[in-house]
Amino acid sequence: MMGRFSAFSRYARRCVARAGVIFCQYPAYARLMRLHRPIGIWLLLWPTLWGLWIASHGQPMEKLLIIFVIGTIVMRSAGCIVNDFADRSVDPYVKRTSDRPLATGEVSSHEAFIVFAGLLIVALSLVLTLNRFTQILSVIGLAITVIYPFTKRFISTPQFMLGIAFAWGVPMAFAAHLGEVPRVGWLLFLGAIVWGVIYDTEYAMADREEDLKIGVRSIAILFGDLDKMLLWTLQVIFFGTLVLVGKGEDLGFWYFGGLGAAGFFALYQQYLIKDRDSERCFRAFMSNSALGACIFVGMALDYLFHN
């Protein structure tokens, strides 16, 4: 058994070293992992930080904070590779994705797999330092990450799958801190899923015309003229869920002040999407990073001053 583990360790180190050399030699790999567009990192990180702060009552362990921040960057990068591999035949026909390395041929599928494998090894090294329950959740999260990009071909609501993928850090944060996911953790998880559906629907609204041409499915296409009403409804559910989280955790002025600031960005998004202009819908999507930051800052300040 030890011999097999040693052999695996040597193989893992060689894979990481090879991925490192490839990354340094070819800047296209940074674009493959979308490191030049960190919006996805923030959208994945904010719910994870919400979970860490609530699970620890505002005092997350330094070790866990470092692991989850690095893990977020690594898994978002891996997710981008899977997504681009799944979309490599359609990305060339979408204006905003036509310059992606797999779409242009700058990076081959084989090279992308090597980088993906290297990222998974890094993620594995991080998760092995956590408890068993968190490790089990991480395997489920990886499966969701791999499956999501392909759902756009088969179901009309792939945004729900993305919402689950981007919210998965919430139960993992609670599991890492507490060894379990309490009721408030699942409630926050639900809110984060709804938020993911909101911003990915805004993203889909920006690509609606091109998605229709190439046969990609989305909630924006499914709901048609009811898309704005759907987003209003989801935003009410999202903020209602966060209010329940705040009440349940006895959070106060700072937290609800953060929700108020986040509500401003939600209203701003409704203003941007009112004419369904592609560029303005994309701006609405991008503004979600600030929305998530407002919630986190309010939460962190509340634990700092209120408790």
* pLDDT tens for each residue of 1-20: 444 435 544 554 565 555 55
Instruction: List strand residue ranges (DSSP E) for 50-148, in order.
Output: none
Tokens of 202: 């805004």
Residue 123 has pLDDT above 70, yes or no: yes
* Report field, pTM of the whole predicted structure over 0.85: yes
pLDDT value for 78? 92
pLDDT value for 105? 83
Better-predicted residue by pLDDT, 215 or 251: 251
pLDDT value for 5? 39
pLDDT value for 121? 92
Mean pLDDT along residues 164-176? 96
Mean pLDDT along residues 199-225? 84
Query: Which residue range forms the structural domain that includes residue 36?
Result: 2-306
Distance (Å, whole) CA 302 – CA 307: 7
pLDDT band at 120 (very low <50, low <70, confident <90, very high): very high
Q: Which of 65-69, 81-85, 153-157, 271-275 has the lowest mean pLDDT?
A: 153-157
| Contact (CB, 8 A) for 127 and 75 | no
Distance (Å, whole) CA 292 – CA 39: 11
Rounded to the nearest 10°, the torsion over CA 296, 297, 298, 302 is 100
Instruction: Work out how many domains the chain is built from and give that number.
Output: 1
**Cα–Cα distance list, 98 to 23, 202, 277 (Å):** 21, 20, 20
Instruction: List strand residue ranges (DSSP E) for 48-102, in order.
Output: none
- Read off the pLDDT of residues 265-279 as tens digits, 9 standing for 90 and up: 999 999 999 999 999
Distance (Å, whole) CA 261 – CA 219: 27
Distance (Å, whole) CA 178 – CA 172: 10
CATH number at residue 120: 1.10.357.140
% pLDDT > 70, the chain: 91
pLDDT value for 1? 41
The total of other beta-carbon atoms located within 10 Å of residue 31's CB is 20
